[in-house]
A and B are shown apart, each in its own frame.
Chain A
Amino acid sequence: MNKTLLIFNHEFRTTLRRTAFIIMTFIVPLIALLGIGAYHVISGAVKPSEEITGIGYVDNLGGFDQYTSQGNIRLVPFNSSDEASKGLVTKDIKGYFVISPDYLNTGLINFYTLEKQLVPPPATLSAIKDFLSSNLLAGKVPQPTIDLVKAPLNLISIRVTETGAVSPEQGGYGNLLVPGIFSLLLVLSIMFSSSYLIQGMGDEKENRLIEVLLSSVSVRQLLIGKVLGLGAAGLVQVVVWVISTPFLLGLASSSIGGFLKTLVVPPSFYILCVVYFILGYLLFAMISTAIGAISPSAREGQQLATIFTLPSVAPLWFSSAIMLFPNSPVWVVLTIFPITAPVTLMMRLGSTDVAAWQIGLSILVLLLSIAGGLLLTARIVRTYLLMYGKRPGLGEIIRNLRNG
Chain B
Amino acid sequence: MLAVEVNHIFKSYAEKTAVDDLSFSVAQGEIFGLIGPNGAGKTTTIRMMLDIIKPDSGEVTILGKKLDEATKNSLGYLPEERGLYKKLRVMESIVYLASLKGMNPRTAAEKAGPLLAQMDMLSSQRKKIEELSKGMGQIIQFIVTIIHDPQLIILDEPFSGLDPVNTELIKKMLVDLRNQGKAIILSMHQMNQVEELSDRILMVNKGKAVLYGDLAEIKTKYRSNAVLLDFEGELGEVPGVAEKREHKGYVELVLDDKTTPNQLLERLVSRSIVINRFEIATPPLNEIFLKVVGDEHE
Binding site for B on A (CB under 8 A): 1, 3, 6-7, 10, 14, 203-204, 206-209, 211-218, 382, 386, 404
Number of interface residues of B (CB under 8 A): 28
* In contact, A216 and B83 (Cβ under 8 angstroms): no
Chain A positions within 8 Å of B83 at CB level = 204, 206-209
Q: Of A6, A10, A203, A386, which is within 8 A of B52 by CB? A: A386
**B42 contacts chain A at the CB level, 8 A cutoff:** no
**B170 contacts chain A at the CB level, 8 A cutoff:** no
A-B complex: 8 closest residue pairs judged by Cβ atoms: A207-B83, A216-B100, A215-B77, A211-B79, A208-B81, A214-B52, A209-B83, A215-B50
Known: A217-B100, A218-B69. A386 touches B53 (CB 8 A): yes
Map CB proximity to A onto B17-37 as digits: 1 under 8 Å, 0 otherwise. 000000000000000000000
Known: A207-B83, A214-B52. A14 touches B72 (CB 8 A): no
A285 to B191 alpha-carbon distance, docked (Å) = 45
Q: State the main secondary structure of chain A at its contact with B.
A: helix
Binding site for A on B (CB under 8 A): 47, 50-54, 69, 72-73, 75, 77, 79-88, 96-97, 99-101, 141, 144
Q: Which residue of B lies closest to A221 (CB)?
A: B69
* In contact, A209 and B85 (Cβ under 8 angstroms): yes
From B54, B80, B85, B100, residue with most partner A Cβ within 10 Å = B100
Known: A208-B79, A212-B77. A14 touches B88 (CB 8 A): yes
Q: A204-B83, A386-B47 are in contact. List 19 more A-B contacts (CB 8 A).
A: A1-B99, A14-B87, A14-B88, A206-B83, A207-B81, A207-B82, A207-B84, A211-B47, A211-B50, A211-B77, A211-B79, A212-B77, A216-B97, A216-B100, A216-B101, A217-B100, A382-B54, A386-B52, A386-B53
* In contact, B69 and A211 (Cβ under 8 angstroms): no
Chain B positions within 8 Å of A14 at CB level = 85, 87-88
* In contact, A213 and B53 (Cβ under 8 angstroms): no
- Contact sample, A vs B, 16 pairs, CB 8 Å cutoff: A1-B99, A6-B100, A14-B87, A14-B88, A208-B80, A211-B50, A211-B79, A212-B144, A213-B100, A214-B51, A214-B52, A215-B75, A215-B77, A216-B100, A216-B101, A386-B52
Q: Which residue of B lies closest to A385 (CB)?
A: B52
Chain B positions within 8 Å of A209 at CB level = 83-85
A204 to B141 alpha-carbon distance, docked (Å) = 14
Known: A6-B100, A386-B53. A215 touches B85 (CB 8 A): no
A213 to B98 alpha-carbon distance, docked (Å) = 10
Q: Which residue of B lies closest to A215 (CB)?
A: B77
